[in-house]
Every structure is written in structure tokens, then in C-alpha cells.
Structure 1
Amino acid sequence: MIQGQNVWAHPYTYQGTYSFLLEYVDKCKKGEIIIGNELMIQLDILMEYFDNPEIKVDFEDGHKRIKFIETKCKHFEAPFAGKPFLLDIFQKAFVEAIYIFKIFDEEIDRWVRLHQDVLFVVARKNGKTPLVSALCLAEFFCGEIGTRILCSSNDYEQADLMFQAINSMREESRSLEKVTRSNIKGIFFGNPKKPKKNGKFSYKNKGTIKKISAKTGAKEGKNIKIGAVDEVHELKDNTSTMPIRQAVSTQDEPLYIELTTEGVINDGYLDERLREARQVLNGEIERPRWLIWLYTQDSEQEVWQNEKSWVKSNPGLGVIKKRSFLKKMIEEAKTSKSMRVFVLSKDFNIKQNNATAWLSPEDILSEDNFEIEDFRNAFAIGAVDLSKSGDLASARVMMMKPGSQKKYFLQKYFIPESKLLDLPKEEFEKYQAWIRKDLVIVSPGNENDFSLVTAWFVKLYKEFGIRCYKVGYDKWSAIYWAKEMDSYGFECVRVSQEFGSMSEPMKLVEADLKSKLINYNNNPIDKYCLENTALNINTKQEIMPVKVQGKEEKKIDGAVTMIIAYRVYIDNRTEFLSLVGR
């Protein structure tokens, strides 16, 4: 129901026109729709506009685009593929909020849209990309001739998701498809099979829809009318967004939309934008042309204690996003730090620091010491994290007993003599204690002597018969060391310290530590390294180790070699366990 449908006496009408925004606000105020405090503040601001004599309320543009989306656009992905794109009330209210408020621009002597900058934050799987994609397509057809639209994101793949969503909706509609064309460069008006000589749908309309990524720059960003940037939480700064914002500034009625979930990048672009946005909502700074539409929780505590609050960050819950899926994510988040970080940031828009401690003190606690004699003539998996100079190096072997899932670690650390002299007094005394206990081997001079690392592996074999099945090492380590190990009969395999290779073993190390399936012989340096280790997480929910924020001078090498050992174990589990069982 949009206009002229017997709505004159309805409480959600304004000057005879039905308003989805008024309906949404009323239901939010009554508690029929649950939203967070930040969105409620923005809605209160919008309600003031209805009584502001300097702002004109005009529903035509907003309702035209809502009607276009619901009658011309179709979903293209399961389980809604082929079905009309029927908007929920929160989506209609959002579109209305963008379009219905007008202010008079004296420079061009006409009324123009008030909101020209939009920040839309909503949890994943709530249809944000399809919604903004449909809005871009609506603007392409409903806007003026020559409308140029640019889809952008941190990487080309994410930018392509929005572009493909737009193109798929175009292809699903026969009436839209027959007056447009697309190729690898973009979407254009004019169909070579059914050409039109003149008018909006002819080749004379130079409107386009294109895509770029932050990595390719904004070379295509000159003089565009609509700019939509997806997943801005991945951006470290504004170097890729500013060219787009400047490009739309040449238009009389530009529209720049940033859509995203929360993220884990510290002091990134989204952090700064949200700081400014919250200042606007709190009345500390004035940005009347910025529509700030935040679906956020009011606290982390309510996520765990009140399931009804989940809809604050998930307005599509039960319609677009399955409640059962979210329940499953919550249960997994209770036992996994990486899942907790991912779920709170991506499913509830609660910012997570990607450099907070990975493990709790209880997780790190090891069992009583074991004797190396228990593993005489055992097979092992080796791992090293080598540092040429000025740093700690770590080497270890991982051993198992037949019929058991428990992993036992023997380890040795290495440090250059010059590094010790540069340490603060407290750290120096700590390292001196470790050296006296033969936990650390000191290399003379300014560099670690990798031959000492080799000698340690050789010693384990000669004195205790511990044979390394394979030894994992970081790809940045000296290749000469690997050749030296090979000369002694050790097979070394590279394990790159990247998300793809480190994520799975890091998650398994965490699970085994929590289950007390790791015994690192109560080595204090292992404990020290585990305490200093944080996790970094990407959009694919992959993780890798980093240093806890504020502890950049601390070391995590021991934790890294545990993860490297687990990587080799995972890749060779069957064969290694068969050797253990001999």
C-alpha cells in the first residue's frame, strides 16, 4: 500500500499519504518491533523533521523506488530465487528515510533530498547487500538520465557480489533486461537486440553501473551520482572511500551509501566513522545530511541473557535470517574464542578487538611434567619459528602415545647474546632464569645460529631415539637451514604464516588446550608465549596468531610453533598415527 489506497484516516498517514516510516517508528515505540537505542535516537531525529518548516516531506521518490523494487526486482538466490523482492517494514522505512525529506538548495534554486550520505550497519545475513543492490537498480531506472553508479568494497570479490546482485535482478526481469545490456565492464542502457533510437532506455542514455575495489583505486570514480561501498569494516583508512565521496559531490542530489557489519580491525575506517556517527546521534556534532541507520545491541550481556534482544542487530530474524542458525552460532561461541569474536562482531555488531588474549589462564594451565624417557624411540613432528637476529627463535617436537589423542611437547628456545643485553632489567632476569634451566640457548653475537637449532633435533635423535617424521617451518625462514636439516636426513615442509594455513591448526590447538589434550611439560616460556598470543580473524572466519595489543615487545614464537606442528599433524594425520602405533 503506497498511495491513494483509502489511507486518509489512517494514523500512519502524513498529509494524506501512507508512511512506512511512521508505521515503523510507532511499532518500535510500542515495543512491537524491538530496536536498539542508537536506531531509536535516529528515528526520534527523523520524527522532528515532520514538524520542521524548513524541511518538506515528499513521498514520491521514495515510494516510486519501493514500488520498483517490489514489482520489478526478483530474488536470485535460494531459497527465495525467482520470487518478488517484497520489502519488510524495516526495509521500507529505511528507503523512505533516505528519500522523503527535502530541503531547499538556494544554489540550484530547488528542493533536493536531505540525506545524501548513509551509514547502514546491520548484522550479516539480514539482506543488506541485496537491499542496497535493489536500491541501486531502482535508482538506475527511476533516477535521471545519465545516472552513474559505482559499487565498491575492500576487495574485488566483495565489490563483485553487489554488482552481480544488481545484474542478476536485472536479468530476472524481462522488462528490465530488454532495455539494458551488460558486459565485464558494467551495466548499460540500450539493448542491441531491441534497440531504441531515443529516450531513457536508448543508447543515448550514458548511465552506467560499474564496480571497483579499494585495491584498484577509484580511477572509475569521476562524476558519479550513486556510490555504494560494501563491508567498510575491512578498510584501514579512507584512502579508497574519499575519491568516491568526492566523485559524487559534483551532483545536485548525490547518494553515498556505506553498508557493513561490525569488524575486528583496530582503529580502522569504520571505527572512525562510528565515532563520528555516535557524536552526531548524541548531539555533539551536526551532520544533518547524514542518515545513520545502526542495528546494534545495547550491551553484550543481553546477547547471552535475552534471546528476544537479538532482533536489535538482526531486523530480518525469522524472515531473512533463521533463528535456529543464530542459536547454533551462540552455542559454538560459548566454547570457542575465535567463534565468539566472529559471532559478536558479525551477528550482533559488537566491536571485537582482534588483538585481545586468545586463551584464558585456565586454558593455558598444563598438566604435571612428563619424562622424556617415556618417549624413547618415539616418532615426532617437529616445528620451528626462526628469527635471524634480534628476536627469540623456537623449536619443538610433538609426540603422541598409541591409542591416545593427547599431544606432548618438548621444546627449546634460542636468542642472540646481544638481544639479552638490550632487555629491560625485569625481562633480563626472567631470561637469565630460563637460561640457567637450559630452556634457552644463547647464540654468540647479534644473530641466532641456526646450526644450534639443527643440533638440538640431532641430539634428540642420538640421545633418545626421537625421530622427526617431518619438520614444519615458516616459509620466511632461512632456506639454508632447511638444506642443513636435509643433510641430516630430516624432511622439512614449509608452513606459511597466513590465514589459510594457520586457521585450522590454531582452532584445534585451542580446542585441545581447553580439553587438556596438550601437555607442554609446564615450560614457562610456552606459557609466556601463549599468554601473549591473540587471534586475528578475517571475513571467512579464518584465524591466525598475532601479539596481544599493547604487548608488541612480548614473544609468541612458542605458540606459533605449536600451531605449525599441528598444521603438519593435520596434513599427515593418518600416516603419522600409524607410525605412533608401531
Structure 2
Amino acid sequence: MSDYPYNVIQAEYDGTHSYLLEYISKCKSGEILIGHELMLMLDILLTHFDDPEIKVDFEDGHKRIKFIETKCKHFEAPFAGKPFLLELFQKAFVEAIYIFKIYDNEINRWVRLYQDILFLVARKNGKTPLISALCLAEFFCGELGTRILCSSNDYEQADLMFQAIDSMREESKSLEKRTRSNIKGIFFGNPKKPKKTGKFSYKNKGQIKKISAKTGAKEGKNIKVGAVDEVHELKDNTSTMPIRQAVSTQHEPLYIELTTEGVVNDGYLDERLIEARQVLNDELERPRWLIWLYTQDNEQEVWQDEKSWIKSNPGVGVIKKRSFLKKMIDEAKTSKSMRVFVLSKDFNIKQNNATAWLTTEDIVNEQTFDLEDFRSSFAIGAVDLSKSGDLASARIFLMKPGSHKKYTYQKYFIPESKLEQLSKEDRERFKEWIRQDLIRVSPRNENDFSLVTQFFLSLYKDYGIRVYKVGYDKWSAVYWTKEMEECGFDCVRVSQEFGSLSEPMKLVEADLKSNLINYNHHPIDKWCLENTALKLSTKQEIMPVKVQGKEEQKIDGAVTMIIGYRIYIDNRTEFLSLVGR
């Protein structure tokens, strides 16, 4: 069969229609557009039909496809209550898992070829419902005592798959009356008919349960099917290896990893994809590993060719709305954090989780102002005390009535000993900034944080500027906050984590792009912004970190901008009323 021209690959094999062959034929002819990596896997699968050591048996695969389409129903809008009718790419995927058999001399029978599955597809293409339906099909169609484990990096994500399975079970009267569910899992047996015998009675000790990477005691479980969702969040294999070992006692185990791309550097998925691509390129032998990757061939086609989006989104137009993708692309063009998220989650293009935050155009701003223009005004304060032996930053934000623009005045602080540890280039730069009174130096090895207090006091003494609230990070702040409060300042701690910093960081980015932040053309602010990268969480939250390769550079000025914006967001109404007086 592999000798056939690509455009005439037959969808029949020994009189049976094959969804996999139909899919391969349409992909080869160009009717269905896929990426190069999936095409490599399909080429491997095509050779199996001619391999004398591999038996092609459609019974198990088609039985599960029929079960899903006739017994499973969707449970979420807009398809709630409707039959789970599989798309061709989904049928081909299920077929690929089940139809190929090899003879196992150890147990003297034919067994499924593929035991490990890696399924990579962009978000909102139905991957979790599909694998959930497949697990439910395996529960009913598989052998007696089939035990299934749903897992993910956190309990909430693992519960999504478990709840999907349970909801499909409840939607079907025939499945619901043969099973029961409780907080521990899903089990066979109708409580109303405890004495009934047969595969779907209490006699069947099969079960479906859930765990997370944070759950202990994963070793020792004897399961047949292990499904791990969103493996891109895993840092290493400590949570997957026990599951893989737990299925090792089975004659026909099934271990499935389903995921989108992620932003965790050097994480578990990175290692798996390196090996997967080696297998696809015939550089590594893993004959029992089915690698099903929906990926783009390059980033440029995402921006230039809308038709290429189907490569990473096989469900676009049916499961996933094309209008949603267009909206995401439009937002990604104007927001760096959105760009990172969209490329990784919607197009499976790996993104560094510490990528540069702003462009040069965003940062460069030659606007200046005179602090005298804000005499007797109210301000918001922000400090990044950092470690006592490093650079520290303090600033205020000022606004004018009826304007959205923020004017920020700042001062930096550094201990004398730190100057000698700088590179020659940075040392000269810092000495110049000190001469310009942009940095104040503390003697010896530690910052004298009373200089920070004096900075805020001098603003009132010299200009009558009253600081409404001062946001601060946690480093070395105990004695300093006590000193500030004794001087009459209201200090508010801002946690250095995603939940606190994401919203203000996004607003700082938007305001910089719109020229709504006048940082008085301050060279240290510009330098800190250039050194700042964004770290992205799986919840699309961001926080500032140092650009990779610039670990010795400073981002304190950017951090105080974000801290100040946190205080502004939380107190916007009251602060603006003070500004308008």
C-alpha cells in the first residue's frame, strides 16, 4: 500500500473502511492541511499496513468509535446533550491507537502495538473531551477489572478530565444505570441491583480515579489506562514515572499524555518532544510510541497564512471557532504577554517563559516634566528594597486632573561595596548616574534604607507633595516600614507573585505603548525596562523577571512601576478624587 501514489491511497483494507487511511489520503492529497511532524507519523503508520509482522485488526478500534458516538454525549454548551460524533481526525487517531497488533511471545497472543501515546494539539480543539470519552470507552469495552487513572499537574486539572468522564456517564441512561460514582471515583454496579452478576455488576472491580502531581503515594497502583493532562506544566517526570510503572504489569497497557505547548523552560514536555522528534526523524527507536503532533511548520505562517492555522487546530471551524483565533491573533499583535500565550496555546509554538517584555519603541520616551508643576499634589509611592546589598528603587506617581497620564519621579540606592563588583562597563555607567544624583550611595556593604525614607520626606518638605500610599515588596522591609509609619506614611505590601503583579504589569505595558507614562527620560528607568522579561503562568498571568542571559542586570525600576500601578489599581477612585481637589 505504501507504493500507491499519495493522491490514490485507498480507504479500504481487506474490505473494511479505514478512517486512518481516509485521513492519510486526504492529508497526502492536500485536501486536509497538516504540519510536517504529523505527516512523518502518518508515513510510519502507512508502512504498518504492509508489514508482515503487524496484523491490522479494526475490531477494537471501531468498537470504541461506535461506543463514543452512540453512548457518549456532550455535557457543555453549545453541544450539551448532543451525541459525541467524532470528526475524521479524531476517528483516525483512535484507529491508530487500536488497529495495529503485534504478536507477544511472552503471553502467546496478539496485543496492541501502541502502548504510549503523545497527543499534542492547540487548546479548545476537544482534546480533554476526546480522551475522556476514550477512557470511558475503554472502561466499558475493555477487559474485566480495567482500572483507569486521570492525572495532571494539579488536582483541579485532573478533575476536569474526571468530571468530563463522569458527566458523559451521567448523560447516558444505559451507562449511568450500570455504574455508580462517589468522591473516590467511578465504579461498576447498580446500587439498586447489588446481586446482579456480569461484566457491568459489582463483580467488575474496574474503577476510574484521579490524582495530581502533588498527590502522594502514586507508586503501587495497578492500572491499565493512565491519562495525564497538560503535561506541559510538569517540571520533570516525578509524577509521570509512577503512572507509567503502574501500567507495566498489564498485557495491553495504555498510557496517554495529552497537552498543548507550554512556557516551562527545560520541563518534562521539552524532554519528551526532543525524543519524539528524534523518533519521527528515525534517529531514535521507540516502536510502541504513537506521536500525534498538531504543530505549525513555522511562526511566520501563523501571521501570514490563515489557512495554515488548521495545522495546530484540526477542529477549527467545527470545534473551535475561527473568529476566536482571529481575535486572539489581533490581541497578540499589541500585547507581548498575549503573543506568548497565543503562540504557545493556540498554535503549539514553544515560547520562552522569560521572554523580553517590551520593544525599544515601547520604552523610548523623551518626555520630561518639572516636579515644581506638581507642588502640593498627592502621589502614590512604590519601593523595591531588594536585598540590602543590591540596587534599590523608590518612586512616586503623579497625575493631573482629567488626564490619564502618569508622571513618575524616582531615586535609586546602592551600597558602596556593590559598585566594585560591577563590570567595567556598568561601573562607569553607575558612576555617571551617581554624579547626576540619580543614585544615592550608602557606605560599606548595605543599603541604608533610611535614605529611602528621607526621599519621601523631602518630597513633602521641598514640594509639599503628599504620598497617599506606598507599595513595597517584602525584602528587608520590617524595620523600614516601621520607620515610614512613624513618619506618617501608609505602607502597603505587594506580594511578588502572579496574582498581585499580572494586572498592573499589563497596564504598565499598555500605558507605555500609549505614551501615558512620563518617566522624565530617566536613563536608569530605561535600562531597567530593557532588562525586564515577562514570566507567563498557565493561567495567562504574568510577572517581571530578568531577561535570560542578563541575570546580573537590574530590573528594580520596572518593578517599582508595577508595584505603584498595583496600588493605583486598588485605590483608583479615592486617589483620583484626591488628584482632582
Whether the 8 Å CA contact 2:231–2:257 is kept in 1: the answer is yes
Distance in 2 between residues matched to 1:190 and 1:35, nearest whole Å:
43
User: Structure 1 residue 370: deviation in Å?
Assistant: 1.4
Q: 8 Å contact 1:212–1:220 — kept in the other structure?
A: no
Q: Contact conserved, 2:384 with 2:559, CA < 8 A, in 1? A: yes
Q: What is residue 49 of structure 2 aligned with on the other side?
A: 50
Task: Look up the SS of the partner of 1:249 in the other structure.
Answer: coil
Q: Following the alignment from structure 2 to structure 1, what is the Cα–Cα distance between the partners of residues 53 and 578?
A: 81
Question: In 2, Cα distance between the equivalents of 1:377 and 1:465?
Answer: 4
Q: 1:126 & 1:410 partners in 2: Cα distance?
A: 48
Deviation at 1:477, TM superposition (A): 4.6
Deviates more, 1:169-178 or 1:416-425: 416-425
CA contact (8 A) 2:219 2:242 kept: no
Query: Is contact 1:179-1:194 (8 Å) kept?
Result: no
Letter in 2 for 1:261: T
Instruction: Indicate whether 1:269 and 2:268 are aligned.
Output: yes
What's the counterpart of residue 4 of structure 2?
none
Q: 1:221, CA displacement in angstroms?
A: 5.8
Q: Which residue of 1 aligns with 2:60?
A: 61
Shift of 1:220: 6.3
Matches of 2:78 and 2:512, distance apart in 1: 39
Q: Say if 2:358 is the partner of 1:334.
A: no
Residue 154, structure 1, aligned to residue 153, structure 2? yes
CA contact (8 A) 2:379 2:466 kept: yes
Structure 1 residue 479, shift from structure 2 partner: 2.4
Q: In structure 2, give the amino acid aligned to 1:313.
A: S
Q: Report the Cα offset of residue 39 of structure 1.
A: 0.4
Distance in 2, Cα, partners of 1:61 & 1:225: 16
State whether structure 2 residue 347 is matched by structure 1 residue 344: no
What's the CA shift for 1:125?
0.3
Cα distance in 1 between the residues matched to 2:436 and 2:216: 55
Q: Aligned to 2:170, what secondary structure does the other structure show?
A: helix
* Cα drift, residue 180 of structure 1: 1.0
Counterparts of residues 404-483 of structure 1 (less than 5 Å) = 404-483=403-482
For 1:214-246, what per-residue CA distance to the aligned partner results, in whole angstroms no more than 9, with x for missing partners?
Answer: 111452662111110000111111111111111
Whether contact under 8 Å (2:120, 2:259) holds in the other structure is yes
Cα deviation, 1:230-282, whole Å, max 9, x if unaligned, reads: 00111111111111111111111101100000011111111111111111111
Question: Could you list the per-position Cα deviations for residues 88-133 of structure 1 after superposition, in whole angstroms to 9, with x for gaps in the alignment?
Answer: 0000000000000011111111111111000000000000000000
Shift of 1:195: 2.4
Question: Quick one: distance in 1 between partners of 2:195 and 2:84?
Answer: 28
Kept in 2, the 8 Å contact 1:150–1:221? The answer is no
- The alpha-carbon deviation at position 476 of structure 1 amounts to 4.6
State the alpha-carbon separation in 2 of the partners of residues 260 and 362 from structure 1: 35
Query: Contact conserved, 1:120 with 1:258, CA < 8 A, in 2?
Result: yes
One-letter identity of the residue aligned with 2:248: S
Report the CA distance between 1:559 and its aligned residue: 0.5
Per-residue CA deviations over 1:373-429 (Å, capped at 9, x if unaligned) read 111111110001112323211111011111111111111111122222222222222
Distance across 2 between alignment mates of 1:241 and 1:305: 38
Pair 1:138-2:137 in alignment: yes
Q: Could you tell me which residue of structure 2 aligns to residue 118 of structure 1?
A: 117
Please give the TM-score of this superposition, normalised by the length of structure 2.
Answer: 0.97
Farther off after superposition, 485-494 or 328-337 = 485-494
Cα deviation for residue 20 of structure 1 reads: 0.4
How far is the alpha carbon of 1:481 from its aligned partner? 1.5
- Which region of structure 1 is more displaced relative to structure 2, 386-395 or 257-266? 386-395
Q: Deviations over 1:290-344 (max 9, x none)?
A: 1000000011100111101001100000100011111111111111001100111
User: For the residues of structure 2 that align with 1:234 and 1:296, how far apart are their CA atoms?
Assistant: 18
SS of 1:560's equivalent in the other structure is helix
| Pairs within 5 Å for 1:195-210 | 195-210=194-209
Deviation at 1:480, TM superposition (A): 2.3
Which segments of 5 or more consecutive residues in structure 1 lack a partner in the other structure? 1-9
* Cα pair 1:221 1:244 within 8 Å, conserved: no
- Aligned equivalents of 1:326, 1:196: Cα separation in 2: 53
Quote the offset at 1:445 in angstroms.
2.5
CA deviations on 1:12-64 (whole Å, 9 max, x unpaired) are 11011110001111111111111111101100110000000010000011001
Contact kept? 2:48, 2:54, Cα under 8 Å: yes
Q: What secondary structure is seen at the aligned counterpart in 2 of 1:415?
A: strand
The answer (yes or no) to whether the contact 2:534–2:543 under 8 Å persists in 1 is: yes
Indicate conservation of the 8 Å contact 1:295/1:313, yes or no: yes
Q: Deviations over 1:66-104 (max 9, x none)?
A: 011011100000000011100000000000000000111
- Give the aligned residue type for 1:442: V
Whole-Å separation in 2 of the counterparts to 1:204 and 1:240: 31
SS in 2 for 1:112: strand
- Kindly state the Cα deviation for residue 196 of structure 1 after the two structures are TM-superposed: 4.2
Q: Which residue of 2 aligns with 1:31?
A: 30
Q: Aligned AA for 2:146? A: T
Is the 1:190–1:196 Cα contact (8 Å) retained in structure 2? no
Counterpart residue number, 1:229:
228
Match of 1:185 in 2: 184
Q: SS in structure 2 opposite 1:111?
A: strand
Q: Conserved in 2, the CA contact under 8 Å of 1:379 and 1:467?
A: yes
1:502-517 map, 5 Å: 502-517=501-516
- Correspondence for 2:294: 295
Single out whichever of 22-31 and 475-484 deviates more from structure 2: 475-484
After TM superposition, the runs of 4+ consecutive aligned structure 1 residues lying more than 3 A away are none
User: Cα distance, 1:473 vs. partner?
Assistant: 1.0
List per-residue Cα deviations over 1:454-501 (Å, max 9, x = no partner). 111011111111111111112455222212111111111111111111
Gaps of 5+ in 2: 1-8
CA distance in 2: counterparts of 1:318 and 1:571, whole angstroms = 40
Instruction: Give the whole-Å Cα distance in 2 for the aligned partners of 1:233 and 1:217.
Output: 20
Tell me the residue number matched to 1:555. Answer: 554
Contact 1:451 1:481 in 2 (8 A): yes
Q: 1:488-540, CA deviations, whole angstroms, 9 ceiling, x for partnerless residues?
A: 11111111111111111111100111111111111111111111111111122
What amino acid does structure 1 have at the position aligned with 2:27?
C
Pairs aligned (count): 573
Please state whether the residue corresponding to 1:414 is helix, strand or coil: strand
Quick one: distance in 2 between partners of 1:387 and 1:502? Answer: 16
2:151 and 2:546 mapped to 1: Cα distance? 31
Alpha-carbon separation, structure 2, partners of 1:217 and 1:54: 41
More off after superposition, 306-315 vs 518-527: 518-527
* Residue 313 of structure 2: aligned partner: 314
The alignment partner of 1:382 has SS state of strand
- Tell me which residue corresponds to 1:537: 536
With normalisation by structure 1, the TM-score equals 0.97
- What residue in structure 2 maps to residue 172 of structure 1? 171
Q: Could you say if the C-alpha distance between residues 221 and 571 of structure 1 is closer, same or farther in structure 2, counting changes exceeding 3 Å?
A: farther
Tell me by how many angstroms 1:368 deviates.
2.9
Aligned to 1:5: none
**CA root-mean-square deviation:** 1.2
- Match of 1:249? 248
* Whole-angstrom distance in 2 between the partners of 1:533 and 1:398: 20
Q: Name the CA distance, whole Å, in 2 between partners of 1:507 and 1:544.
A: 9
Counterpart amino acid of residue 145 in structure 1: L
1:293 partner amino acid: W
- Which residue pairs with 1:4 in the alignment? none
Preserved contact between residue 471 and residue 491 of structure 2 (Cα < 8 Å): yes
Deviations 1:120-152 (A, max 9, x none): 000000000000000001001111111111111
Query: d(CA) in 2 for partners of 1:387 and 1:343?
Result: 32
Structure 1 residue 197, shift from structure 2 partner: 3.5
Give the whole-Å Cα distance in 2 for the aligned partners of 1:104 and 1:434.
75
The alpha-carbon distance between structure 1 residues 424 and 367, as it changes in their structure 2 partners (threshold 3 A), is: closer
Equivalent residue for 1:525?
Answer: 524
Segment of structure 1 superposing worse, 488-497 or 67-76: 488-497
Which of 65-74 and 401-410 deviates more? 401-410
**2: distance between equivalents of 1:454 and 1:78?**
56
Q: Which residue of 1 aligns with 2:386?
A: 387
CA contact (8 A) 1:185 1:210 kept: yes
**SS at 1:191's partner residue?**
coil
Distance (Å, rounded) in 2 between the aligned partners of 1:220 and 1:60: 33
